[in-house]
Amino acid sequence: MLNWLQTLPNYSAYGSPTYFIYLIIAIIPLMIGIYFGKRLVWYEAFVSFLFIFFMFTGSSVQQGCSLIAYIIYETILVMWYFHYRQKHNTGWGFYLLAFLSILPLVIVKVTPAMVGHNSLLGFMGISYLTFRAVGTIIETRDGVLKELNWWKFIRFMVFMPTITSGPIDRYRRFATDYQAVPERQEYLKMVDKAIYYLFLGFLYKFVITYFFAMQWQPFMEKMAMLSAPHLSWWVVGVAYMYAGNLFFDFAGYSLFAVGISYLMGVKTPMNFNKPFSSPNIKEFWNRWHMTLSFWFRDYIFMRFVFLATKKRWFKSRNALSSTAYMLNMIIMGFWHGVTWYYILYGFLHGLALVVNDAWLRYKQKHFKNLKSTWLTKGIAILITFNFVVFTFLIFSGFLNKLWFTH
């Protein structure tokens, strides 16, 4: 059976124009159904299964098996906790289930650092599915989920347009959106937006990203490596090329996911909103990978602040917020992987958020009459952009290659 699956073609999500042709043809009946006010649930399930199946065939069969086991595991945990929560609200029950839900992701992230190879539990998208599962457990703990069944949860977890790389949705938002079939005029507006997102995504991912990823960044890296392990101006070029590559590739993918979701009648949240025009680092995180940023804000930062306030761990609100920033961003760094450059990336962004708040307090106290102009805003954007580019260079791992593996 596994040998047969490995002989089948593999279609990575949004990886080629052929994939889009097949996908659009497959969802046309769904679009017709929604246009006439009916969601074709079982046909949608069949199409989703078919495309997810071909995402994990060929060389990705092992990942497909891990995905199936993972979905079963998380569904059992979430459903058990939902039924438990109807009668009990113990802290130990919540923390235990949250820990068990996160455990597969922790194993996948820690394994390369511990044993030198990837975990067999890993598959493309495990991080985003874990955020969905843990978010559902937290929503259950908060008492905001009044109804949940295994099929709806699985449908939320494996929603085909966003399964491998997000955006990260919330169960309550998704379920409410999915149950309400959009009115005809509203759906036509969604289709109009979807077409725009898809064309913009093609421009980002298949045109602009090509030059960054295939032309400019490799050239800069090649030239920078000639002077390894010493730094050179070519490393600066690598930093800017990597930042462009990362943004246009990921933003393009996110636009595809949102566009296809809209065609399927679901308003998946956006992931990017002109992040490089941010005048400070806090604004940047409100615009960059927004569904991830907001997930960490709501489920780590705010909950730590609430718990620390309740337990009176800090006398100073500034010390509390600074600690929460550092904790939030360092955890985000560890989430990317247990390597020095991911962890340092998270540390630097946490420190930048602390410095940003300190500067705002200082400015409010000593420069009350300082007016915001196009010049001051431009300088702020320039500083923020270059800081982000510098930290992206660290995040890329290129310095690790330059200094330690040349």
Q: How confident is the model over 201-217, as pLDDT tens digits?
A: 999 999 999 999 999 99
Query: Are 158 and 71 in contact, with CB atoms under 8 Å apart?
Result: yes
Please state, in angstroms and rounded to a whole number, the distance separating the CA atoms of residues 208 and 225.
24
Domain hosting 188: range is 183-269
Same domain for 155 and 6: yes
**Residue after which a domain boundary falls, among 242, 269, 296:** 269
Per-residue model confidence as pLDDT tens digits over 270-312: 999 999 999 999 999 999 999 999 999 999 999 999 999 998 8
Same domain for 255 and 289: no
**Residue after which a domain boundary falls, among 159, 181, 203:** 181
Per-residue model confidence as pLDDT tens digits over 119-130: 888 888 999 999
Same domain for 132 and 70: yes
Please state, in angstroms and rounded to a whole number, the distance separating the CA atoms of residues 400 and 406.
9
What is the pLDDT averaged over residues 384-398?
A: 97
368 vs 270, residue with greater confidence? 270
Same domain for 320 and 198: no
In the chain, the number of structural domains is 3
253 vs 165, residue with greater confidence? 253
Please say if the pLDDT value at position 6 is more than 80.
Answer: no
Same domain for 26 and 163: yes
Work out the pLDDT band at 384, boundaries 50, 70, 90.
very high
Residue 54 neighbours by CB distance under 10 Å:
19
Same domain for 363 and 258: no
Q: Tokens 């340092």 belong to which residue?
A: 344
Same domain for 167 and 51: yes
Same domain for 151 and 292: no
Work out the pLDDT band at 368, boundaries 50, 70, 90.
confident
Burial of 16 (0-12, 13-18, 19+ CB in 10 A): exposed
Same domain for 323 and 232: no
Same domain for 16 and 161: yes
Same domain for 265 and 193: yes
Query: Are 269 and 169 in contact, with CB atoms under 8 Å apart?
Result: yes
Burial of 13 (0-12, 13-18, 19+ CB in 10 A): buried
What is the pLDDT averaged over residues 380-402?
A: 96
Instruction: Check residue 164 and give its pLDDT.
Output: 86
Residue 297 DSSP code:
I
Same domain for 16 and 129: yes
**Residue after which a domain boundary falls, among 221, 240, 269:** 269
Please say if the pLDDT value at position 115 is more than 90.
Answer: no
Active site residues: 336
Identify the sign of the CA torsion 342, 348, 350, 353: negative
Instruction: Check residue 406 and give its pLDDT.
Output: 60
Instruction: Check residue 4 and give its pLDDT.
Output: 66
Query: Are 220 and 234 in contact, with CB atoms under 8 Å apart?
Result: yes
Residue 228 DSSP code:
T
Instruction: Check residue 60 and give its pLDDT.
Output: 83
Paired tokens of 189: 């507006």
